[in-house]
Amino acid sequence: MPVLSEEKARSIYNETKALRFCEIASIDIKDRLALATVAGGLRRVGVLEGEGAQLERIRDVVVNHGIHTLVSRSVWSRKERKLEKQPLLRLLGNL
């Protein structure tokens, strides 16, 4: 289990509050919450969906606070993968 660290979360927040995670407000706030929960030790993994030049600056802040980052082209959920393999479940998921 991750170690809770309110100080780390607060420090990362203070260094990134003026940076834009994403142009879309709902994704921006989701990404900020994902980062805060990882930095605070509530979760081990968070996914940032935003795009933009400021993500590199955000990544630098995160790395400087000892959090490992990985850039990926995409992520997928197990639920979506199961739906791809089982067309009936895909149909049921749309109901």
**Residues 23-49, mean pLDDT to the nearest whole number:** 89
Of residues 70 and 7, more confidently modeled: 7
Of residues 49 and 20, more confidently modeled: 20
> Which tokens sit at 50?
């935003």
Q: Which residue bears the tokens 């990882």?
A: 38
pLDDT digits (tens, 9 = 90+) for 71-85: 776 666 555 555 455
pLDDT digits (tens, 9 = 90+) for 43-63: 888 888 877 768 889 999 999
Q: Kindly tell me if the per-residue pLDDT of 91 is higher than 50.
A: no
pTM score, two decimals?
A: 0.70
Q: Kindly tell me if the per-residue pLDDT of 11 is higher than 60.
A: yes
